[in-house]
A and B are shown apart, each in its own frame.
Chain A
Amino acid sequence: MSRVAVLAGGESLERQVSLRSGARVRDALEQLGHDAVAIDVGPDLVARLTDEPPDVAFVALHGRDGEDGTVQELLELVGVPYTASGPSACMRCSDKVLAKHALRDAGLATPDFYAFSRTAFESLGAAQALPAIEERLDFPVVVKPASQGSALGIRFAPTAQEVPAAIVAAFSYDTKVMLERHVNGRELAVSVLDGPEGPEALPVVEAIPRGGDHYDFEARYQIGRTDFACPARLEPETTARVQGLALDAYRVLGCYGFARVDLMLDAATGEPTVLEANAIPGLTETSLLPQAAEAAGISFPAFVARVLDLALIRAAA
């Protein structure tokens, strides 16, 4: 039996989702016979970790601080073994722009994009480049904040007129935004779980929105708003390509333990392309990773157990 600190909550906009992920992890830990302690991440985090150091920390944080490497740096500092990816992979995954650059540099498919900081617009006249960008990306253009993990702040701009307001909205969440080519097609997610033989791709999940926007934040976390098919109905050969691309992305981004790679299966080309990777994907009842694990015959407690083992293996290495 280990003493496991479950880090959840925090100050990010995804606090509520994180609390639900954390609660579910805690239940699983108790089922496994561990001593689970919930920590709502705040100013006393370091004190709590050093006063009564847990054997291992399960990081169930989403969004800023938790998923962007900040908390992982602190955990390294205080010497508490922790689950999932290390600081550098977290940083890459949480910044969609960094992630996409890394993927593109490695020759992996990801939709074309251009990214800008506030200063690019304020001091460097980036606005003048917008027409050229729009021409290259074609409409609708997708506008995203670089770092928001959920769908908050993501907008489709069907015409050039809508681009400025979409950019303003995205800058509500971050100091860096991205304009990305919209890919029409099927929305897929591949969860990757490390194991004795290295990372393995779990069955592909397809998200099928019920008559709605693919980026509807509300739908993502609600039963009944989106249908999920797991495993997705794909040709075996397509499944293999999708899973292969997800594994490549996982490796390129340097993930560890588990992660989820979101992809589109481009309707025009039939090829998969990577939208983003989540270093700490949601673990709620409606989240995709637990569904995929279940489909692979890995129960949620078994998943949690494996992830804890991996944390201890890394710490011992």
Chain B
Amino acid sequence: MGRSRSTARDLERYAGLFAQRTNGMKSSAMRDLMAITQRPEVISLAGGLPDTTHFPAEDVAALMARVAADASAAALQYGPTDGLEEVKRAIVQVMAAEGMDVETDELLVTTGGQQVIDLVCKTLIDPGDVIVAEGPTYPGAVPTFGAYEADVVQVEMDADGMRVDRLEETLDGLQRAGRTPKFVYTVPTFQNPAGVTMALERRHQLVRIAAERELLVLEDNPYGLLRYEGDPLPPLYALDGGEYVIYLGTFSKILSPGLRLGWTAAPRPVLEKLGLAKQGADLCSSTFGQHFVVQYFAQRNWTDLLGRLRGVYTRRRDVMLEALAEHLPAEATWTRPAGGLFIWATLPDYIDTTDLLARALREHVAFVPGRAAFLDGRGGSSLRLNFSGVDEPDLREGIRRIGKVVSEQVQLYSTLTGTPAAPPRPAAATPEDAAAGRVLPLRRRAGGER
């Protein structure tokens, strides 16, 4: 028995069997560091976790009991690949809440929003095909793009989201090189990781560009309903009418990520292929989870929990913004998100946030180094901070600890270079003060998008 297990662990014996694409699936130093962030003593601002403690346990129990009483056998059975009709009707409601008009036969229920990214790549991407994404982009999409051997081109962003003018330049440049991207991947609203939102004008432009160039757009919108201030903006899907936009939604942030349920709405020919791809991947998404969703929408007002979550997250965002203003040195900048789960901070360029994470872990605090959001090594001095998954005292303490290690490095650098560090920032009186004027330069690299 020992012998067979030994063989099973002996990677060399299998190395020659792996597909070429596994070369794109990398274990990394960063991942080794991230493994440490999960220790209980670490305040982790690294995750992208919603706070699931606000879903009352008795509610879960009551809904589970209804599932058992009403649909026990069906909930334990396989379901249709495209999802239960009642779930799709719930999705129609959720999408309508953001101004989108969709028919149930334009929907495919998936295993989390993440599966949509995977299925879209599986359906559209041959090795070497181009995907255009934002820079920074969702770190969870990076390994998916890698696994399908896509060539990812990242387009600069600013406080108003993706620079659509840069996108056009990028597309022109690619065209001159004889390359046509398969799709543009964007998180237009409360972007992960940058926290910024694409301005209305740019949304119109993007949809126009997509139509003119017959280019598909994957709109990833997990956070649209988690708006803490300002007026909602129409999703790209609403503007485009489902011609070129593939929409990705999820129950993870409005209900629970543990259900692993998301969906896509896509042009019918694309949807058909996505459905076939899904059949090969997992036949159907959790029937049990889908029945839970059905009961939840039948028995509860689904916007109640959302309202509670908005209240909690708004306070947490404000606490994090306050703490950043108090603890980060004057050379640092960060975004002020109007919704979602993340703040993106950028430190002086001589600080490498992957190295900084090693130092921060000794203070028992963690974040995502900015490099995780780029495929080309950029992002080295940025970090992603999550404010939804940690309570207010821990948020304050976590940012205090990050501030401590950053200040330490700023001081050291100033000593080494003989230049005085900027004076400490005067303490901000209110979150508004804290945010005023210090919003976002998402840093641009020499040499353009790539």
The complex places the Cα of A286 from the Cα of B14 at a distance, in Å, of 12
CB-contact partner of A121 in B3, B355, B412, under 8 A: B412
CB-contact partner of A27 in B9, B411, B418, under 8 A: B9
Question: Residue of A at shortest CB range from B2?
Answer: A30
Asked whether B201 is an interface residue with its Cβ less than 8 Å from the other chain, the reply is no
Given contacts A171-B409, A172-B358, contact A165 B35 (CB under 8 A): no
CB-contact partner of A218 in B26, B350, B361, under 8 A: B26
Asked whether B53 is an interface residue with its Cβ less than 8 Å from the other chain, the reply is no
What chain B residues lie within 8 Å of A13 (beta carbons)? Answer: 32-33, 36, 358, 361
Chain A residues numbered 269-301 whose CB sits less than 8 Å from any CB in chain B: 284-286
Given contacts A23-B9, A27-B9, A173-B359, contact A165 B352 (CB under 8 A): yes
Asked whether A113 is an interface residue with its Cβ less than 8 Å from the other chain, the reply is no
Contact residues of A: prevailing secondary structure:
helix
Interface residues on A, range: 35 or more
What chain B residues lie within 8 Å of A218 (beta carbons)? Answer: 26-29
**When the two chains form their complex, are residues B350 and A168 in contact, meaning their CB atoms are under 8 A apart?**
yes
Contact residues of B: prevailing secondary structure:
helix
The complex places the Cα of A223 from the Cα of B418 at a distance, in Å, of 43
Question: Residue of A at shortest CB range from B353?
Answer: A172
**When the two chains form their complex, are residues B29 and A121 in contact, meaning their CB atoms are under 8 A apart?**
no
What chain A residues lie within 8 Å of B361 (beta carbons)? Answer: 13
**When the two chains form their complex, are residues A168 and B23 in contact, meaning their CB atoms are under 8 A apart?**
no
**When the two chains form their complex, are residues B412 and A222 in contact, meaning their CB atoms are under 8 A apart?**
no
Asked whether A118 is an interface residue with its Cβ less than 8 Å from the other chain, the reply is yes
**When the two chains form their complex, are residues B350 and A164 in contact, meaning their CB atoms are under 8 A apart?**
yes
How near does chain B come to A217, taking the closest CB pair, in angstroms?
4
**When the two chains form their complex, are residues B29 and A165 in contact, meaning their CB atoms are under 8 A apart?**
no
Given contacts A127-B416, A164-B413, A224-B15, contact A169 B32 (CB under 8 A): no
CB-contact partner of A15 in B5, B27, B35, under 8 A: B35
Question: Residue of A at shortest CB range from B411?
Answer: A122
Asked whether B6 is an interface residue with its Cβ less than 8 Å from the other chain, the reply is yes
Question: Residue of B at shortest CB range from A161?
Answer: B417
CB-contact partner of A223 in B12, B413, B416, under 8 A: B12
What chain B residues lie within 8 Å of A167 (beta carbons)? Answer: 412, 416
CB-contact partner of B355 in A17, A122, A173, A285, under 8 A: A173
How near does chain B come to A239, taking the closest CB pair, in angstroms?
24
- Top 3 A-B residue pairs of the complex, sorted by shortest distance between their CB atoms: A30-B2, A27-B6, A164-B416
Give A contacts to B, CB under 8 Å. Answer: 11, 13-17, 23-24, 27-28, 30-31, 118, 121-122, 127, 130, 150, 152-153, 163-165, 167-173, 217-218, 221-224, 284-286
Can you pick out 20 interface pairs between chain A and chain B where the beta carbons lie within 8 Å of each other?
A15-B35, A16-B31, A16-B35, A17-B32, A24-B9, A30-B6, A31-B6, A121-B412, A122-B411, A122-B415, A164-B413, A168-B350, A169-B355, A170-B355, A172-B409, A221-B27, A223-B15, A224-B23, A285-B10, A286-B12
